Structure 1
Amino acid sequence: MLVEEVMKTDVITLTAKDTIETALKLLHEHHIRHLPIVDEEKRVIGIVSDRDVRDASPSIFEKGTSPEELKNPIESIMTYPVTTVHPLDFVEEVASIFYEQEIACVPVTRNDILVGIITEKDMLYTLIQLTGTHVQSSQIEVKVINKPGILPQVTQVFGKRKVNISSVLIYPYKPDPKYKIIVVRIQTMNPLPTIEDLKSAGYEVLWPKMPGMQS
């Protein structure tokens, strides 16, 4: 899945000279957590989060604070340089950026011009779609030998039963690297016939563990 398929294109931005007070109002009014900072050509030069603005705002509980702090330009608290991604990047690659850089938002640029934004919430929703958990389905986990060609062999069993597959994921089997786990979500609330098919084909079903069934 590409970034352009999940990014938001209606992006609220500020310039470096806009005030912290303006940022605070926009964050509250639009219920957002990040504001890209752009120049006249819509190139991203910084980014601020709701936490940045909150930390820079005077506390009502502290004496001696002045609302004049809110008049400071946003460039005084923005983060730069900014990590950006391209609309044709893969969502999986963006997930790695979120994890490795410990960030919660990345602007999307084309030819250095801002065209969208993608947040951790967008990433979570995309993960839900990719795993098929947004539709009524059943999950089956199958332990298989880690060898070329094993995936089509397993999915062939599902094909014979003519069940609709929502998603397929593959995980390592930590106790033994010679094996891996294939996780298949199928659009049925009764996976028992498919489980029986898999067992008859010689596969070990790790989940679901049905009463009275042996692996």
Structure 2
Amino acid sequence: MLVEEIMSEPLVTINSNDRIEEALELLNKHKIRHIPVVSENEQVVGILSDRDIRDAAPSILEENQNRQILQHEVSSIMTTPVITVHPLDFIEDIATIFYEHEIACVPVTKNNQLVGIVTEKDLLYRLIQLTGIHEQSSQIEVKVPNKVGVLPNVTKIISDRNTNISSVFIYPYQDSYHEKIIVLRIQTMNPMPLIDELKQHGYEVIWPNIPGLSK
């Protein structure tokens, strides 16, 4: 999935020489947490968050306390330089950037022009959709050897029972190169017959582990 499919647009932006008070008003008015700071030609020069304002003026909500900070220019507290991404980047790359740089949003640029923004919330919502958890379904986790042909074999068992698969995820079993966990979300509320059949074919179902079913 590409960044352009999940990014937010149009955008609320602010200039670096605008006052912090204006930025705070925009944050509150639009119920957002981040504002890209742009130049006159819409190039990203910084990013401003509600946290930046709180850190600069920890008593901002107290009457007559630290009010002078609000008259300073946005450039005095904005974060710069800014990590940006392209609309055709993959959302997996965004997740890696969020994790490695411990940030909560990235502006999206094309030809050095701001075209969108992606936040942690945008990414998390789309990942939830990708798992299929928003649909009526059941989750099965199967431990399998890491070799060619295993995944189609498992999915064939499911398709032979006329059961639709909402999503498939695969990850290493306890960091092992030799075994994998296949996580399947299937469109049935009664996975018991399917779990039994997977076990009869020699697969180890580790979730749900139903006592009494075939091993």
Q: TM-score range by the shorter chain?
A: over 0.9
SS of the aligned residue for 1:140 comes to: strand
For residue 162 of structure 1, what is the aligned residue in structure 2? 162
- Check 1:81–1:184 CA distance in 2 against 1; reply closer, same or farther (3 A cut): same
Question: Aligned partners of 1:24 and 1:153: how far apart in 2?
Answer: 56
Which range moves more in the overlay, 139-148 or 194-203? 194-203
CA contact (8 A) 2:60 2:66 kept: no
SS of the aligned residue for 2:17 comes to: coil
Asked if 1:198 is matched to 2:188, the reply is: no
Matches within 5 A, 1:124-203: 124-174=124-174, 176-203=176-203
Q: What is the deviation of 1:63?
A: 10
For residue 114 of structure 1, what is the aligned residue in structure 2? 114
Question: Aligned partners of 2:152 and 2:66: how far apart in 1?
Answer: 66
Aligned residues: 215
Matches within 5 A, 1:16-55: 16-55=16-55
SS of the aligned residue for 1:117 comes to: strand
Identical positions, percent: 60
The one-letter code sitting in structure 1 at the alignment partner of 2:133 is T
Gaps of 5+ in 1: none
Question: Aligned partners of 2:195 and 2:113: how far apart in 1?
Answer: 51
Question: Aligned partners of 2:185 and 2:82: how far apart in 1?
Answer: 38
CA contact (8 A) 2:196 2:214 kept: no
Q: What is the deviation of 1:118?
A: 0.4
SS of the aligned residue for 1:205 comes to: strand
Q: Deviations over 1:19-75 (max 9, x none)?
A: 110111111111111000001111100001100012223626889944222110000
- Check 1:168–1:60 CA distance in 2 against 1; reply closer, same or farther (3 A cut): closer
TM-score computed with the length of structure 1 as normaliser = 0.94
The one-letter code sitting in structure 2 at the alignment partner of 1:99 is Y
Question: Aligned partners of 2:96 and 2:28: how far apart in 1?
Answer: 29
The root-mean-square deviation of aligned C-alpha atoms, in Å, is: 1.8
CA contact (8 A) 1:95 1:123 kept: yes
CA contact (8 A) 1:18 1:74 kept: yes
Question: Aligned partners of 1:20 and 1:128: how far apart in 2?
Answer: 35
TM-score computed with the length of structure 2 as normaliser = 0.94
